[in-house]
Structure 1
Amino acid sequence: MKRIVLDPGHGGADPGAVGNGLLEKQVTWMLANKVKEKLKRMKAEVIIVQPSCGNPRSTKDDELYLPPRDANRLGADFYLSIHVNAGGGTGFESFVHQNSQGKDTDKLRNVLHRQVMAYLAKYGIVDRGKKYANFAVLRLTNMPAVLIECLFIDNAKDAVLLKDQSFIDGLANEIAYGLIVALGLQRG
């Protein structure tokens, strides 16, 4: 049985990106829980790691460094950090650590990215690409780790979608299905 850790980016005292009446920490929490729900019939243990669950005043550093530590302690097989972007752009992008190029982590990310983009393309969402970065959550994990940035909270068009429960449910479904395909999960 695969152990999957979902890290809804930000929480506690760290709201993450803010825009158009949305807080990143709320959107990512909702997405992570919907992904977990959609995977409940699979032979997988899905664990959400969120420091603010145990400490409502968790700091930005807590939210950055504790989830990878928890995933390592739990012996996770896969780590997915879910985020919403900001900064004046639009679209979806995914990241793996810069040392993962051409390795299993990169291949798993490619499957997940392709599945999510197939859904987002129906909404005219821009594919910002599959990228490499030295983000702490990717660098500090001992298992394949992917970080996804799901639209831009400060883009009015993207924010309309992020407020739409039907869209969020569909996005969570495609993230879950991408994990099923990438990890070869079977029904339980």
Structure 2
Amino acid sequence: MKNKKIIVLDPGHGGQDPGAVANGLVEKFIVWELAQRVKEKLAGRNAEIIIVQPSLSNPKSTARDELYKPPQEANRLKADFYLSLHVNAGGGEGFESFVHPAAKNKPADALRNRLHSQIMQYLARHKVKDRGCKYADFAVLRLTHMPAVLLECLFMDHTGDAQLLKNHDFLDGLANEIAYGLMVTLSLEGEA
């Protein structure tokens, strides 16, 4: 069996930083649940799944801690892949994914495109808008030394998206597609 790949899951926000808040939803709780479910679904694969969230060791972690410490930890671990999970807000709707502009036409870009496509197959069945594959200079994408992708999983301030995010079966299906997308994209084999 090949060496295990190290995959860091970064459920964005935590501690004193709730992330987006709308329609009775709090981003840090949704992405934490998603990260936990993705990790569970990848059990038995040839990968070490590490959830990095500073609030685990410091419940009073600041927004700065939540932004800068996960990429630092991923770099220290020499992770093979970094996935930052978020829920959007700000007047839109749908799903979008990001890599750093410097990753254009590089491995992170191709990995993101395959992951995005896999997740959208599930979301399309729920009539979720595909906002596309994008590039952004987000700190977690800029500071990581490995291929890194940031997912914005729907808009909590959009009524339809919020209803889906409140549905635990939907979240489980989304986590399943993220996990399956990682399996396919990163060629994660089952353990013997």
User: TM-score surpassing 0.5?
Assistant: yes
What is the SS of the residue equivalent to 1:81? strand
Question: What is the match of residue 169 of structure 1?
Answer: 172
Q: Given the alignment of the two structures, is residue 131 of structure 1 paired with residue 134 of structure 2, yes or no?
A: yes
CA RMSD of aligned residues (A): 0.4
Give the match for residue 30 of structure 2. Answer: 27
SS in 2 for 1:125: coil
Per-residue deviation, residues 19-52 of structure 1 (Å, max 9, x unmatched)? 0101000000000000000001100000000000
Q: Distance in 1 between matches of 2:152 and 2:29?
A: 14
Q: Which residue of 1 aligns with 2:14?
A: 11
Amino acid at match of 1:5: V
**Aligned with 1:181 (options 175, 179, 184):** 184
Task: Find the aligned partners of 1:111 and 1:131 in 2 and give their Cα distance.
Answer: 13
| 2-structure distance, mates of 1:42, 1:110 | 22
Structure 1 Cα separation of the partners of residues 114 and 180 of structure 2: 10
Give the partner amino acid of 2:55. S
Give the Cα separation in 2 of the matches to 1:94 and 1:87: 16
TM-score normalised over the length of structure 1: 0.99
Residue type at the aligned position of 1:147: L
Task: Report the equivalent of 1:159.
Answer: 162
Paired residues, number: 188
Cα distance in 2 between the residues matched to 1:66 and 1:41: 28
Following TM superposition, by how much is the alpha carbon of 1:78 offset from its aligned partner in structure 2, in angstroms? 0.2
2:122 paired residue number: 119
Determine whether 1:140 maps to 2:143: yes
Question: Aligned with 2:82: secondary structure?
Answer: strand
2:101 corresponding residue in structure 1 = 98
**1-side partners of 2:179 and 2:113: how far apart?**
14
- 1:156 Cα offset (Å): 1.1
Unmatched 5+ stretches in structure 1: none
In the superposition, the TM-score normalised over structure 2's length comes to 0.97
- Secondary structure at 1:79 match in 2: strand
Q: Give 1:38's aligned residue.
A: 41
Deviation at 1:137, TM superposition (A): 0.1
Structure 2 unaligned regions, length at least 5: none
Q: Distance in 1 between matches of 2:38 and 2:97?
A: 17
Moved over 4 A (4+): none
Q: Which amino acid aligns with 1:113?
A: H
Partner letter of residue 82 of structure 2? Y
Task: Supply the distance in 2 between the matched residues of 1:153 and 1:9 (Cα, whole angstroms).
Answer: 14
Distance 2:118 2:78 in 1: 26
